[in-house]
A = this chain, B = another copy of it.
């Protein structure tokens, strides 16, 4: 009898009928003798509705009243977990639901963006030992000061993986509305192929690059504790399929590239004519941090005239703030000016063996150039290549790269 942790997202428990279908699935797993811990998100739009309610009482509730925001939002999973527990009990199984607090998901005290510090889960273990299916509210925890906290983005996935690590689960199944991780977004690239097995690092690159199936936080915890995660669709009836994320030893025949992901909504700034001192970069970054701008890509280029340029990309939502801040710094340092490019998309090619194959970089660049896609900047890590292109070129660029690297053909 293996212990499985399963996470069902908001779409999977979006209405009573879907909740009953999740209960059916759990009942089938249970029938095969598995012990089950089930992590649920809030139903469908519940969280959005609660956020809207808060907004109608007070502007900017997350920043102004983070503790009360957590009290409010945690009502969402409370509803879905209780309904799911009822539906499972209707199947003749024993089931019990716990909030994050009751399950002793201990976090720091940073409301709305808490981090898990420890998972005690004593009550969870007791109920498992008593033969019950244990349902746990995702996304939420409790601080050492006994305050209710929420984990922010990717919270329910994070809860599921952290519980898997703490309970020594054989596997953590993340049920979602797509059947795993694909070589590219199937809505953009019709020949995109499901990746059956992917390593933690590659998954992290893909997730950071906008493949929003599982959150990087959850993958990071999985990597640290060696939790085997399977991402699969709750809409499909079978139990095969999906993508398994695990430690992966690459073989000689491994494909170079695993997939390509993209994300729109970026802007780029070039700060020209800055003094070539070490302190220049530090000053720019510290001013941006003060202005609460997150820098995505960052490159420093020495100009022909001996001065220096800094090129950086930021989220489009922070572009105005970033521009204002950079204008200030450039003026202060006696620089030449700031160039701004709006509406960029970020393409990421991910592959485990890529750093050993410099040809990949050149080929990607050339394919896009040949088809008239302007590349605004590039960057690379050991297992990924990032290219910024115009927003209007995003989907076409993804298809060009997917085709150029024959991602639809490679298999395992």
Residues of A within 8 A of B (CB): 16, 19-20, 50, 53-54, 56-58, 61, 64-65, 67-69, 71-72, 74-76, 78-79, 81-83, 85-87, 89-90, 96-97, 99, 102, 146
Contacts and interface: CB of A to CB of B under 8 A. Distances in A.
Question: What number of copies of this chain does the assembly contain?
Answer: 2
28 contacts: A16-B53, A19-B57, A50-B79, A53-B79, A54-B82, A57-B86, A57-B87, A58-B89, A64-B89, A64-B90, A67-B96, A68-B82, A68-B83, A68-B85, A68-B89, A68-B96, A69-B86, A71-B81, A71-B82, A71-B85, A71-B97, A72-B78, A72-B86, A74-B78, A75-B75, A75-B76, A75-B79, A75-B82
Closest 10 CB pairs of A and B: A72-B82, A16-B56, A71-B82, A75-B75, A75-B78, A65-B86, A68-B85, A68-B82, A58-B86, A16-B57
Contacts of A54: 82-83, 86
Contact of A86 (B61, B82, B97): B61
Given A16-B53, A61-B86, A72-B78, 11 more contacts: A54-B82, A58-B86, A58-B89, A64-B90, A65-B89, A68-B82, A69-B86, A72-B83, A72-B86, A75-B75, A102-B146
The binding surface of chain A is classed by DSSP as helix
A75 B86 CA distance: 16
A79 B47 CA distance: 11
A71 B65 contact: no
A68 to B, nearest CB: 4
A143 to B, nearest CB: 12
Contact of A78 (B19, B67, B71): B71
A340 to B, nearest CB: 36
A44 to B, nearest CB: 12
